[in-house]
Protein backbone atom coordinates (compact mmCIF):
# COMPACT_ATOMS: atom_id res chain seq x y z
CA UNK A 1 0.00 0.00 0.00
CA UNK A 2 1.29 3.46 -0.90
CA UNK A 3 0.96 6.00 1.89
CA UNK A 4 -0.31 9.53 1.41
CA UNK A 5 2.28 12.24 2.08
CA UNK A 6 2.37 13.24 5.75
CA UNK A 7 0.06 10.44 6.91
CA UNK A 8 0.63 9.45 10.53
CA UNK A 9 -1.29 9.35 13.78
CA UNK A 10 -2.37 12.74 15.11
CA UNK A 11 -3.35 14.29 18.43
CA UNK A 12 -5.93 17.05 18.87
CA UNK A 13 -4.87 20.47 20.06
CA UNK A 14 -6.46 21.97 23.15
CA UNK A 15 -5.50 25.63 23.55
CA UNK A 16 -5.60 27.24 26.96
CA UNK A 17 -7.07 30.73 27.20
CA UNK A 18 -4.50 33.42 27.84
CA UNK A 19 -5.09 35.11 31.18
CA UNK A 20 -5.24 38.89 31.52
CA UNK A 21 -2.26 38.92 33.90
CA UNK A 22 -0.13 37.01 31.40
CA UNK A 23 -1.13 39.31 28.54
CA UNK A 24 -0.16 42.39 30.59
CA UNK A 25 3.39 41.15 31.03
CA UNK A 26 3.97 40.59 27.28
CA UNK A 27 5.18 43.07 24.67
CA UNK A 28 2.81 44.08 21.85
CA UNK A 29 4.55 41.67 19.45
CA UNK A 30 4.34 38.84 21.96
CA UNK A 31 0.66 39.61 22.62
CA UNK A 32 -0.10 39.48 18.90
CA UNK A 33 1.73 36.17 18.51
CA UNK A 34 -0.05 34.76 21.57
CA UNK A 35 -3.44 35.78 20.18
CA UNK A 36 -2.58 34.32 16.75
CA UNK A 37 -1.51 31.05 18.36
CA UNK A 38 -4.69 30.89 20.40
CA UNK A 39 -6.83 31.58 17.30
CA UNK A 40 -4.90 28.99 15.28
CA UNK A 41 -5.38 26.32 17.95
CA UNK A 42 -9.05 27.21 18.39
CA UNK A 43 -9.75 26.75 14.67
CA UNK A 44 -7.73 23.53 14.64
CA UNK A 45 -9.94 22.24 17.45
CA UNK A 46 -13.03 22.92 15.32
CA UNK A 47 -11.51 20.91 12.45
CA UNK A 48 -10.56 18.13 14.89
CA UNK A 49 -14.19 17.99 16.08
CA UNK A 50 -15.31 17.29 12.49
CA UNK A 51 -12.56 14.77 11.72
CA UNK A 52 -12.59 10.99 11.74
CA UNK A 53 -10.07 9.47 14.16
CA UNK A 54 -8.91 6.76 11.74
CA UNK A 55 -5.23 6.91 10.80
CA UNK A 56 -5.14 7.98 7.12
CA UNK A 57 -1.98 5.93 6.50
CA UNK A 58 -4.04 2.77 7.14
CA UNK A 59 -7.47 3.98 6.00
CA UNK A 60 -6.52 5.39 2.58
CA UNK A 61 -4.75 3.64 -0.27
CA UNK A 62 -3.27 6.13 -2.75
CA UNK A 63 -3.27 5.50 -6.51
CA UNK A 64 -2.07 8.70 -8.15
CA UNK A 65 -1.96 12.48 -7.95
CA UNK A 66 -4.82 14.03 -9.92
CA UNK A 67 -4.51 17.73 -9.16
CA UNK A 68 -2.90 20.56 -7.26
CA UNK A 69 -4.18 23.87 -5.96
CA UNK A 70 -3.17 26.72 -3.73
CA UNK A 71 -3.99 24.79 -0.55
CA UNK A 72 -2.63 21.36 -1.39
CA UNK A 73 -2.41 18.33 -3.64
CA UNK A 74 -5.31 16.07 -4.64
CA UNK A 75 -4.94 12.29 -4.91
CA UNK A 76 -7.13 9.49 -6.23
CA UNK A 77 -7.44 7.08 -3.29
CA UNK A 78 -9.48 4.17 -2.04
CA UNK A 79 -11.17 4.35 1.36
CA UNK A 80 -10.45 0.84 2.61
CA UNK A 81 -13.12 0.91 5.31
CA UNK A 82 -15.99 1.87 3.00
CA UNK A 83 -14.49 0.19 -0.09
CA UNK A 84 -15.04 3.31 -2.23
CA UNK A 85 -12.85 5.45 -4.46
CA UNK A 86 -12.39 9.01 -3.21
CA UNK A 87 -10.51 12.19 -4.10
CA UNK A 88 -8.36 13.33 -1.18
CA UNK A 89 -6.99 16.83 -0.82
CA UNK A 90 -3.82 16.74 1.30
CA UNK A 91 -3.19 20.07 3.03
CA UNK A 92 -0.16 20.92 5.12
CA UNK A 93 -1.30 22.41 8.43
CA UNK A 94 -0.70 26.18 8.16
CA UNK A 95 0.92 28.23 10.89
CA UNK A 96 -1.33 31.25 10.37
CA UNK A 97 -4.88 31.49 11.71
CA UNK A 98 -6.26 33.06 8.50
CA UNK A 99 -5.15 30.11 6.36
CA UNK A 100 -6.41 27.60 8.91
CA UNK A 101 -9.75 29.43 8.94
CA UNK A 102 -9.96 29.11 5.14
CA UNK A 103 -9.43 25.33 5.41
CA UNK A 104 -12.08 25.10 8.11
CA UNK A 105 -14.48 27.08 5.92
CA UNK A 106 -13.86 24.77 2.95
CA UNK A 107 -14.58 21.65 5.02
CA UNK A 108 -17.65 23.20 6.65
CA UNK A 109 -19.06 24.46 3.33
CA UNK A 110 -18.44 21.15 1.56
CA UNK A 111 -20.16 19.26 4.40
CA UNK A 112 -23.10 21.63 4.05
CA UNK A 113 -23.55 20.88 0.33
CA UNK A 114 -25.92 18.21 -0.95
CA UNK A 115 -26.29 18.69 -4.70
CA UNK A 116 -25.74 16.53 -7.77
CA UNK A 117 -23.44 19.12 -9.37
CA UNK A 118 -21.08 19.43 -6.39
CA UNK A 119 -18.80 16.56 -5.26
CA UNK A 120 -20.07 14.91 -2.08
CA UNK A 121 -18.13 15.33 1.17
CA UNK A 122 -16.90 12.00 2.57
CA UNK A 123 -14.58 12.57 5.54
CA UNK A 124 -11.75 14.53 7.15
CA UNK A 125 -8.64 12.88 8.58
CA UNK A 126 -5.75 14.37 10.55
CA UNK A 127 -2.08 13.55 10.95
CA UNK A 128 0.60 15.42 12.89
CA UNK A 129 1.33 17.84 10.04
CA UNK A 130 -1.48 17.41 7.50
CA UNK A 131 -5.23 17.63 7.00
CA UNK A 132 -6.85 15.15 4.60
CA UNK A 133 -10.14 16.20 3.01
CA UNK A 134 -11.88 13.21 1.41
CA UNK A 135 -14.64 13.74 -1.15
CA UNK A 136 -16.45 12.03 -4.02
CA UNK A 137 -14.12 10.86 -6.80
CA UNK A 138 -15.20 11.93 -10.30
CA UNK A 139 -13.68 9.70 -12.97
CA UNK A 140 -13.19 11.88 -16.01
CA UNK A 141 -11.51 15.15 -16.97
CA UNK A 142 -11.59 18.82 -16.06
CA UNK A 143 -13.32 21.21 -18.45
CA UNK A 144 -9.85 22.70 -18.94
CA UNK A 145 -8.71 19.37 -20.44
CA UNK A 146 -11.68 19.33 -22.81
CA UNK A 147 -11.11 22.93 -23.93
CA UNK A 148 -7.45 22.13 -24.59
CA UNK A 149 -8.31 19.30 -26.98
CA UNK A 150 -11.46 20.27 -28.92
CA UNK A 151 -13.86 22.94 -30.08
CA UNK A 152 -17.23 22.29 -28.43
CA UNK A 153 -20.50 22.88 -30.24
CA UNK A 154 -23.12 25.27 -28.91
CA UNK A 155 -25.33 22.58 -27.36
CA UNK A 156 -22.36 21.14 -25.41
CA UNK A 157 -21.38 24.58 -24.11
CA UNK A 158 -25.00 25.25 -23.13
CA UNK A 159 -25.13 21.92 -21.28
CA UNK A 160 -21.97 22.72 -19.29
CA UNK A 161 -23.27 26.20 -18.42
CA UNK A 162 -26.63 24.75 -17.34
CA UNK A 163 -25.00 22.27 -14.97
CA UNK A 164 -22.67 24.91 -13.48
CA UNK A 165 -25.60 27.33 -13.08
CA UNK A 166 -27.48 24.60 -11.22
CA UNK A 167 -24.57 24.34 -8.75
CA UNK A 168 -24.30 28.14 -8.44
CA UNK A 169 -28.04 28.53 -7.84
CA UNK A 170 -27.81 25.95 -5.07
CA UNK A 171 -24.79 27.68 -3.51
CA UNK A 172 -26.63 30.98 -3.57
CA UNK A 173 -29.63 29.36 -1.87
CA UNK A 174 -27.38 28.21 1.00
CA UNK A 175 -25.53 31.56 1.12
CA UNK A 176 -22.17 30.45 -0.30
CA UNK A 177 -20.06 32.38 -2.83
CA UNK A 178 -17.65 30.03 -4.64
CA UNK A 179 -15.13 32.72 -5.74
CA UNK A 180 -13.03 30.41 -7.93
CA UNK A 181 -15.25 29.27 -10.81
CA UNK A 182 -13.01 28.27 -13.71
CA UNK A 183 -12.54 25.30 -16.11
CA UNK A 184 -9.90 23.71 -13.84
CA UNK A 185 -12.57 23.49 -11.11
CA UNK A 186 -15.29 22.02 -13.33
CA UNK A 187 -15.15 18.22 -13.55
CA UNK A 188 -16.84 16.18 -16.27
CA UNK A 189 -17.27 12.44 -15.71
CA UNK A 190 -17.04 9.81 -18.44
CA UNK A 191 -20.81 9.47 -18.15
CA UNK A 192 -21.27 13.20 -18.90
CA UNK A 193 -21.98 14.46 -15.38
CA UNK A 194 -20.70 17.96 -14.60
CA UNK A 195 -19.58 18.97 -11.10
CA UNK A 196 -18.28 22.26 -9.71
CA UNK A 197 -15.48 21.49 -7.27
CA UNK A 198 -12.94 23.16 -4.95
CA UNK A 199 -14.60 25.31 -2.29
CA UNK A 200 -11.19 26.37 -0.98
CA UNK A 201 -11.93 30.07 -1.49
CA UNK A 202 -15.65 29.95 -0.76
CA UNK A 203 -17.29 32.10 1.93
CA UNK A 204 -20.64 31.92 3.66
CA UNK A 205 -22.46 35.23 3.20
CA UNK A 206 -24.75 34.70 6.18
CA UNK A 207 -21.90 35.03 8.68
CA UNK A 208 -20.87 38.32 10.33
CA UNK A 209 -17.33 37.97 8.97
CA UNK A 210 -18.62 37.95 5.40
CA UNK A 211 -18.80 41.75 5.35
CA UNK A 212 -14.99 41.98 5.44
CA UNK A 213 -14.32 38.74 3.54
CA UNK A 214 -16.54 39.87 0.65
CA UNK A 215 -14.08 42.69 -0.05
CA UNK A 216 -11.06 40.40 -0.19
CA UNK A 217 -9.28 40.08 -3.55
CA UNK A 218 -8.91 36.37 -4.23
CA UNK A 219 -9.36 33.79 -6.94
CA UNK A 220 -7.68 33.32 -10.31
CA UNK A 221 -6.73 36.53 -12.10
CA UNK A 222 -8.35 35.82 -15.50
CA UNK A 223 -11.70 35.01 -13.87
CA UNK A 224 -11.93 37.83 -11.31
CA UNK A 225 -14.88 40.20 -11.59
CA UNK A 226 -14.22 43.99 -11.62
CA UNK A 227 -15.82 44.55 -8.21
CA UNK A 228 -13.43 42.02 -6.69
CA UNK A 229 -10.36 43.59 -8.32
CA UNK A 230 -11.25 47.11 -7.18
CA UNK A 231 -11.82 46.02 -3.57
CA UNK A 232 -15.53 46.87 -3.59
CA UNK A 233 -18.06 44.76 -1.72
CA UNK A 234 -19.27 41.87 -3.87
CA UNK A 235 -21.70 38.99 -3.82
CA UNK A 236 -22.74 35.96 -5.91
CA UNK A 237 -22.35 37.99 -9.11
CA UNK A 238 -18.60 37.31 -9.09
CA UNK A 239 -19.37 33.64 -9.84
CA UNK A 240 -21.61 34.63 -12.78
CA UNK A 241 -18.81 36.80 -14.22
CA UNK A 242 -16.40 33.86 -13.93
CA UNK A 243 -18.90 31.63 -15.74
CA UNK A 244 -18.99 34.20 -18.57
CA UNK A 245 -15.19 34.07 -18.87
CA UNK A 246 -15.41 30.26 -18.84
CA UNK A 247 -17.88 30.43 -21.75
CA UNK A 248 -15.45 32.67 -23.66
CA UNK A 249 -12.78 30.00 -23.14
CA UNK A 250 -15.10 27.27 -24.40
CA UNK A 251 -15.79 29.30 -27.56
CA UNK A 252 -12.25 30.45 -28.44
CA UNK A 253 -10.06 28.17 -26.25
CA UNK A 254 -8.20 31.34 -25.26
CA UNK A 255 -8.64 33.96 -22.54
CA UNK A 256 -10.40 37.28 -23.18
CA UNK A 257 -7.24 39.06 -21.97
CA UNK A 258 -3.84 38.96 -23.68
CA UNK A 259 -1.76 36.53 -21.61
CA UNK A 260 1.44 38.32 -22.67
CA UNK A 261 0.39 41.15 -20.37
CA UNK A 262 1.57 41.14 -16.77
CA UNK A 263 -0.84 40.19 -14.01
CA UNK A 264 -1.08 43.85 -12.97
CA UNK A 265 -1.91 44.95 -16.53
CA UNK A 266 -4.63 42.31 -16.78
CA UNK A 267 -6.06 43.38 -13.43
CA UNK A 268 -6.25 46.96 -14.73
CA UNK A 269 -8.18 45.72 -17.79
CA UNK A 270 -10.57 43.80 -15.56
CA UNK A 271 -11.09 46.84 -13.32
CA UNK A 272 -12.13 48.77 -16.46
CA UNK A 273 -14.59 45.95 -17.28
CA UNK A 274 -12.79 45.27 -20.57
CA UNK A 275 -12.96 41.57 -21.56
CA UNK A 276 -13.08 40.85 -25.29
CA UNK A 277 -16.53 40.42 -26.79
CA UNK A 278 -17.62 37.33 -28.72
CA UNK A 279 -17.33 39.31 -31.96
CA UNK A 280 -19.31 38.05 -34.97
CA UNK A 281 -20.09 34.82 -33.21
CA UNK A 282 -23.33 33.01 -33.85
CA UNK A 283 -25.84 32.15 -32.50
CA UNK A 284 -26.97 35.50 -31.14
CA UNK A 285 -28.59 34.04 -28.04
CA UNK A 286 -25.17 32.85 -26.85
CA UNK A 287 -23.70 36.32 -27.44
CA UNK A 288 -26.47 37.78 -25.30
CA UNK A 289 -25.88 35.24 -22.52
CA UNK A 290 -22.16 36.05 -22.43
CA UNK A 291 -22.77 39.79 -22.58
CA UNK A 292 -24.97 39.75 -19.48
CA UNK A 293 -22.60 37.45 -17.56
CA UNK A 294 -19.89 40.12 -17.89
CA UNK A 295 -22.18 43.12 -17.35
CA UNK A 296 -21.85 45.62 -14.50
CA UNK A 297 -22.60 43.95 -11.18
CA UNK A 298 -25.99 45.59 -10.78
CA UNK A 299 -27.12 44.39 -14.22
CA UNK A 300 -25.75 40.84 -13.95
CA UNK A 301 -28.56 38.25 -13.77
CA UNK A 302 -28.63 35.63 -11.01
CA UNK A 303 -27.97 31.94 -11.67
CA UNK A 304 -31.70 31.28 -11.35
CA UNK A 305 -32.54 33.94 -13.95
CA UNK A 306 -29.87 32.76 -16.40
CA UNK A 307 -31.21 29.21 -16.34
CA UNK A 308 -34.31 30.54 -18.10
CA UNK A 309 -32.41 32.17 -20.98
CA UNK A 310 -32.74 30.99 -24.59
CA UNK A 311 -29.09 29.84 -24.77
CA UNK A 312 -29.75 27.36 -21.97
CA UNK A 313 -32.78 25.94 -23.80
CA UNK A 314 -30.43 24.75 -26.57
CA UNK A 315 -28.41 22.50 -24.27
CA UNK A 316 -27.47 18.97 -25.21
CA UNK A 317 -27.96 15.92 -23.02
CA UNK A 318 -25.81 13.99 -20.57
CA UNK A 319 -25.47 11.28 -23.24
CA UNK A 320 -24.22 13.88 -25.74
CA UNK A 321 -21.64 15.01 -23.20
CA UNK A 322 -20.57 11.40 -22.63
CA UNK A 323 -19.91 11.06 -26.37
CA UNK A 324 -17.82 14.24 -26.28
CA UNK A 325 -15.86 12.78 -23.36
CA UNK A 326 -15.16 9.55 -25.28
CA UNK A 327 -13.81 11.58 -28.18
CA UNK A 328 -11.61 13.78 -25.94
CA UNK A 329 -10.22 10.79 -24.03
CA UNK A 330 -9.30 9.10 -27.32
CA UNK A 331 -7.57 12.27 -28.55
CA UNK A 332 -5.73 12.61 -25.24
CA UNK A 333 -4.44 9.02 -25.46
CA UNK A 334 -3.30 9.67 -29.03
CA UNK A 335 -1.65 12.98 -28.11
CA UNK A 336 -3.89 14.92 -30.52
CA UNK A 337 -5.80 18.20 -30.30
CA UNK A 338 -7.76 20.40 -32.68
CA UNK A 339 -5.97 23.55 -33.92
CA UNK A 340 -6.70 26.95 -32.36
CA UNK A 341 -7.21 30.16 -34.34
CA UNK A 342 -5.24 32.84 -32.49
CA UNK A 343 -7.24 35.85 -31.28
CA UNK A 344 -6.18 39.41 -32.09
CA UNK A 345 -6.14 41.34 -28.80
Beta carbons of 316 and 128 less than 8 angstroms apart: no
- Strands 194-196, 140-142: pairing is unpaired
- Compute the 3-state secondary structure of the chain and give helix, strand, coil in percent, each to the nearest 5: 45, 15, 40
Helix axes 154-173, 318-334, angle to 10 degrees: 110
Rounded CA-CA distance 110/141 in Å is 21
Helix axes 97-112, 28-50, angle to 10 degrees: 20
Instruction: Please indicate whether residue 327 is annotated as part of the active site.
Output: no
> Which one of 179, 193, 266, 300 is the catalytic residue?
179
Rounded CA-CA distance 266/290 in Å is 19
Cis preceding-peptide flag for 283 (omega within 30 of 0): yes
Rounded CA-CA distance 232/226 in Å is 9
Three-class SS state of 48: helix
User: Phi/psi zone of residue 109: left (φ > 0), alpha (ψ -120 to 50 degrees), beta?
Assistant: alpha
Torsion angle defined by CA atoms of residues 269, 270, 274 and 276, in that order, rounded to the nearest 10 degrees? 100
Active site amino acids: 179
Amino acid sequence: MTCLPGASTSAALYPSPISGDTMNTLTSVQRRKARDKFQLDTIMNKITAMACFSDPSFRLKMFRKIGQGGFGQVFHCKDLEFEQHVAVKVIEKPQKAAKMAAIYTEIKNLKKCNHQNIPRYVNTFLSTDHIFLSMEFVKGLTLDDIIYHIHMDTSTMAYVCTEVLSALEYLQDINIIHRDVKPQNILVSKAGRVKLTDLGLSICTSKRIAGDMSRRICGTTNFMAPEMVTGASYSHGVDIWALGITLFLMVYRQYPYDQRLSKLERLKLIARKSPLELYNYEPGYMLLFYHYCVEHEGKRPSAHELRGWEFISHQGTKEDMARVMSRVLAMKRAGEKEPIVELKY
